Amino acid sequence: MNSATILFLAMALVAVATAVGMLLSRNTIYAALLLILNFGTVALLYLILGAPFIALAQVTVYAGAIMVLFLFVIMLLGVERSVRKETLRWQRPLAVILGAALLAEAAYILVFKGGAQPPLPTPPANFANPTDIGMALFDRYMLPFEITSVILLVATVGAIVLTKTEKKESRETRFESSTSIETQSEKVQIESKETTIESKE
């Protein structure tokens, strides 16, 4: 077992541990941070496998842009302070059944379909060159790239609009509750004055 294999196994262990921690974490911020760490570890795995452009895209697009956007959306919406709704009864049994099916499928593939695989062909020297991929991305695939950016922008604007609507509704409910409390206190004061007047008479 050489050093590259040991490094690969270590990075794979960290990736699996962060993914499991993200799934089991009840804190949304911690789950997002664990997911960022998972993306960074997967980027290192891509570097080990000789795919520098995919590793760079993994860091810049996923860990750098989408996860930061996700954290900002969490902070704007205030997920940790919101009231947790009760989950449906059929969700947990369905999740257990689907998880068991996935584990069974993975075990079947590893046991019966695994084994000695033929070695992969050696890629050319300019394979996954960031310069060539960047030229193709901004030349041939310019329209899909811009459509993706517009979709992300619409998602950000939608999150901000939803946050403002919730804040406005919360302010209105607070105002109504405060006015109702004030009217109740005024009624109590009037009733107390009437009782004192009646007692004096």
Task: Among 27-31, 122-126, 167-171, 172-176, name the most confident range.
Answer: 27-31
Using DSSP, state whether 117 is helix, strand or coil: coil
Extents of the domains making up the chain: 1-81, 141-201
Separation between Cα atoms, residue 177 and residue 169, nearest integer Å = 12
- pLDDT tens digits for 46-103? 888 878 888 888 888 777 777 776 777 676 666 555 455 556 778 888 888 998 999 8
Tokens, residue 110:
């590893």
Domain 1-81: which CATH class?
Answer: mainly alpha
Per residue in 113-158, pLDDT (tens digit) is 766 567 767 767 667 677 777 788 788 888 888 898 888 788 778 7
Helix or strand holding residue 177 (H, E):
helix 142-200
**Cβ burial 16-35 (10 Å sphere, 16+ → b, else e):** eebbebbeeeeebeebbbbb
Enter the pTM of the model: 0.55
